[in-house]
């Protein structure tokens, strides 16, 4: 029941945080970058406990879990960097640049 309440409360918390973060780009950037650490940690806590309960402390299961977490952290960061690089070169293609804007935050 708790995960359902958390999932339902997340949009409300986001709506409450929007006015506070909207006019402060440094705070928004710090909050955004903290999600690169917090989300994988939350997933690690949830998945790691299940993995240990199911497979025990087998090295292969732990390594596969760590590898999946590393990919989950590196893929969004690389997509953001690639999008920034491409968006700078596409000033004559506004619709594609707007699409890429979904992946990158203005600095």
Task: Judge whether residue 96 has pLDDT over 80.
Answer: no
Per-residue pLDDT reduced to its tens digit, 5-39: 878 888 888 888 888 888 888 888 888 788 777 87
* CA 86 vs CA 82, 91, 105: distances in Å: 6, 10, 13
| Cβ–Cβ < 8 Å for 31, 57 | no
CA 107 – CA 101 distance, rounded (Å): 12
pLDDT above 70: residue 1: no
pLDDT of residue 91: 62
pLDDT at 55: 74
36-91 pLDDT, tens digit per residue, is: 778 777 777 777 777 778 877 788 877 887 888 788 778 878 887 887 777 666 66
φ, ψ at 7 (rounded to 5°): -65, -35
Closest by CA to 65, choosing from 56, 96, 82, is 56
Burial 42-79 (b: 16+ CB within 10 A, else e): eebeeebeebeeeeeeeeeeeeebeeebeeeeeeeeee
């Amino acid at each position: 029941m708790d995960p359902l309440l958390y999932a339902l409360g997340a949009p409300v918390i986001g709506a409450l945080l929007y006015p506070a973060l909207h006019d402060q780009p440094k705070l928004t950037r710090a909050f955004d970058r903290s999600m690169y650490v917090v989300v994988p940690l939350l997933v690690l806590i949830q998945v790691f406990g299940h993995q240990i309960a199911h497979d025990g402390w087998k090295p292969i299961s732990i390594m596969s879990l760590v590898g999946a977490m590393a990919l989950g952290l590196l893929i969004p960061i690389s997509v953001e960097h690639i999008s920034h690089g491409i968006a700078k070169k596409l000033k004559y293609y506004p619709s594609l640049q707007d699409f890429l804007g979904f992946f990158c935050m203005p600095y």
